[in-house]
Amino acid sequence: MTLLARLLALCVGLVMVGCVTTGTTTRLPAAEPTAEGALGASDVVEIRLMQEPEITADYQIDASGNLGFPYVGTLKVAGLTPEGVADELELRLKNGGFFLDPSVIVLVKEFNSRLVYVLGSVRNPGSYRYTDGMGVIDAISAAGGVLETGLPTKTTVTRKVDGVDHSVVVAVPAIVNGRAPDQALAVGDIVFVPESPI
């Protein structure tokens, strides 16, 4: 074998190893940190301005994470908690000279940004509301369970961190039978149950 052929084989081998290590791993990286109860795109909040009850209404956060509110205009709220949004609105209403001592209450009506996705060979594939402490079993159960044609031993969970997708294979039957711990999920994770080739 020539030196050129050996170098080529080495390069191909290194590329293949690189593909394996950056694709499926045995453990998912931690999800990107967000404040507990942080708001995001498509969430719906009720905003109450105590000094003007007639403008109490439901407001939906747009795809850019912004919210429009009377007197203050557009406000970036993605990543803020409801309390943080109330504080920011009170500050803008006061600094804008609209009210001396504004009192704002922000209540979450719909957490549409906190979703996980369950796809593949499940009864009802789609997006599901994430709840704190949710695991793979919870997500698959919310989707109606695995179809008879599914291959639950090869279920994957994919998480995007810093713009990079990371995947891990999860053996659902081992979790159900108590032989393995459940895989904790994070907002935005994708659970995919493949179809059995047989």
Report pLDDT digits (tens) over 24-35: 556 888 887 776
Q: Cα–Cα distance between 140 and 196 in angstroms, integer?
A: 17
Residue 184 lies in a domain: yes
- 62 and 131, same structural domain? no
Residue 180 lies in a domain: yes
- 102 and 127, same structural domain? no
Is the pLDDT at 4 greater than 90? The verdict is no
Of 9-18, 87-96, 146-155, 168-177, which range is least confident? 9-18
pTM for this structure? 0.68
Domain boundary at 110, 131, 156, which?
110
Query: 67 is in which domain, residue-wise?
Result: 44-110
Domain boundary at 88, 110, 132, which?
110
The torsion of the CA quartet 116, 117, 122, 124, rounded to 10 degrees, works out to: 90
Q: Cα–Cα distance between 180 and 47 in angstroms, integer?
A: 44
Number of domain units in the chain: 2
Q: Quick one: CA dihedral 172, 176, 182, 186, positive or negative?
A: positive
- 118 and 102, same structural domain? no
Q: Cα–Cα distance between 149 and 132 in angstroms, integer?
A: 30
Q: What is the mean pLDDT of the chain?
A: 87
Q: Quick one: CA dihedral 73, 90, 52, 59, positive or negative?
A: positive
Is the pLDDT at 55 greater than 70? The verdict is yes
| Predicted local confidence at residue 35, as pLDDT | 66
Residue 7 lies in a domain: no
Contact criterion met (CB below 8 Å) for 132 and 179: no
Residue 26 lies in a domain: no
Residue 4 lies in a domain: no
3-state secondary structure of 10: helix
| Predicted local confidence at residue 119, as pLDDT | 98
- 185 and 105, same structural domain? no
Contact criterion met (CB below 8 Å) for 112 and 136: no
- 196 and 121, same structural domain? yes
CATH of the domain at 184: 3.10.560.10
Contact criterion met (CB below 8 Å) for 181 and 175: yes
Q: Is 74 exposed, middle or buried (0-12, 13-18, 19+ CB in 10 A)?
A: exposed
Is the pLDDT at 6 greater than 60? The verdict is no
Distances (CA, A) of 55 to 48, 58, 59: 7, 9, 11
DSSP letter string over 11-54? HHHHHHHHHHHHSEESSPPPPPP--TT---TT-EEEEEETT-GG
- 183 and 134, same structural domain? yes
Residue 81 lies in a domain: yes
